[in-house]
Structure 1
């Protein structure tokens, strides 16, 4: 009975009891739980600030290198653009020289003024004289889309932008009104020229043009201007201006200079009626 009584009275080993007492004593003397939580939060904030600081320092170190690469790229673009401009200038000079030599050769071989006129009408030679300057530009608030678009956004054609078909009608109207030579933004038009669209861009002979579109037409000055404005295509352009905000300005000019077309390729040819007739020669007997 004394053993059972001892087990009941001392159910927990004395060593466990002493360890529990020591833990309680250490807890009473140790750091409060709220303070430990605050210290942990502070340590986390310090670590986050350290990461941000290191990232900013790395970005500051890399910024000069990126700026240098950007400047080098801009300089390279400027150099290439300047080289392209020089080459284009050389091409224009060579084309002018070729035209002059061709005209001289035609005169020496008995060429007439008709050959000169054919060169002008075909766009193979540079031309200057009185004519009309017509500037066509997009509507003031036009864009790829949006509520500010004066034509709305219901379809591709209902926009405030000048389209390829608009420029086709303008050019055809000028030809019909008596223009002898036409160019758009310095691009000479010929009987083989094509005005097409690529997205929102207008292509003339596969060369993209940007607004405003400056159309130069050599012809009978003020008479050409009047005939064009009274034509169906001139009235169409006026309707675009009145209804959709397309901006236009037309004026008669005393002297316009139009460059020659970059290349005029003859795909087919046939002899004229005069040259096709057989020649008869008197024989000697």
Structure 2
């Protein structure tokens, strides 16, 4: 039986110590994909090899220079315009002062002329036989300042406007906001004081005469075309106790009380020992002449 040759075993190499870390080694050796590396190389070649950080620094420097230039130009323009603005402001202030001074002079002139007219009117009344009645005429006409005892009546809007029910004292006036004092209300108050014996009346320092008008312009109350704002302070010179009692018992006093009860109109009346009312700003003098033609026809 033939003898088989002995089987020779292939010698094996010893394993590498880092054989188990081959994947990690590959990742470390090729951390950047080849495509990305090639693109970065092309971009660097196109830029001429200028470092990126240097370009950023140059761009920042250019931006700072531009900002500094803008600020410098703006400051220079403001410095140039400042004297012009200051000069215009000074001119406006001077004009305001001049106009104010001129208005004050005109007002003083008006006061002097009014005093002169009052003096001449008193002299004319004395010469025409007025005598001691000239002073009374001045008081009744509102041509002179008046002081003495009387009544102080303050009328103000309601705190909150509210609608009224039955017994509305203003239902025929067509007012929508019944919580506000209206011109008709003040007309009734003033007429009631006159009828109760007041000798002179003023509203918020505005002297009333026989020719004074109390009207409305929108929501404002006008006295002789001058707007007033609430509260409305009515001063009436006369016999204080008697004037207050007669007014509160009159129809107009009861009307004011109804406004207070139904609509929250706030009122306060007090008797004062001394009140001071200014003269009317302007007094219109009117004279009447007898109709001689009618008299002659009647006697013929």
- Answering whether residue 53 of structure 2 is matched by residue 43 of structure 1, we say no
Q: Which runs of 5+ in 1 are unaligned?
A: 1-21, 141-149, 278-285
Determine the C-alpha separation between the residues in 1 that align with 2:289 and 2:55. Answer: 100
1:175 corresponds in structure 2 to: 194
Change (3 A) 1:260 1:87: same
Q: Report the secondary structure of 1:158's partner residue.
A: coil
- Answering whether residue 115 of structure 2 is matched by residue 96 of structure 1, we say no
Q: In the TM superposition, what are the counterparts of 1:54-93 in structure 2 within 5 Å?
A: 54=74, 58=78, 61=82, 64-65=86-87, 67-69=89-91, 71-76=93-98, 78-93=100-115
Q: Write out per-residue CA displacement over residues 40-94 of structure 1, whole angstroms, 9 at most, x where no aligned residue.
A: 7972895499359827972882664465355335524542442244134313422
Determine the C-alpha separation between the residues in 2 that align with 1:151 and 1:247. Answer: 12
Contact 2:207 2:277 (8 Å CA) reproduced:
yes
- Answering whether residue 232 of structure 2 is matched by residue 222 of structure 1, we say no
Q: CA deviation at 1:227?
A: 2.1
The worse-fitting range, judged by mean Cα deviation, of 256-265 and 220-229 is 256-265
Which has the larger Rg?
2
Contact 1:138 1:212 (8 Å CA) reproduced:
yes
Contact 1:182 1:218 (8 Å CA) reproduced:
yes
Cα RMSD (Å): 4.6
| TM-score of the aligned structures, taking structure 2 as reference length | 0.58
Change (3 A) 1:127 1:77: same
Change (3 A) 1:55 1:268: farther
Q: Which runs of 5+ in 2 are unaligned?
A: 1-41, 164-173
1:3 corresponds in structure 2 to: none
Q: In the TM superposition, what are the counterparts of 1:1-285 in structure 2 within 5 Å?
A: 25-30=45-50, 32=52, 35=55, 39=59, 43=63, 46-47=66-67, 50=70, 54=74, 58=78, 61=82, 64-65=86-87, 67-69=89-91, 71-76=93-98, 78-106=100-128, 109=129, 111=130, 120-123=139-142, 127-137=146-156, 150-151=160-161, 157-158=176-177, 162-238=181-257, 247-261=266-280, 262-266=282-286, 270=290
Determine the C-alpha separation between the residues in 2 that align with 1:76 and 1:139. Answer: 44
| TM-score of the aligned structures, taking structure 1 as reference length | 0.60
Q: CA deviation at 1:101?
A: 1.0
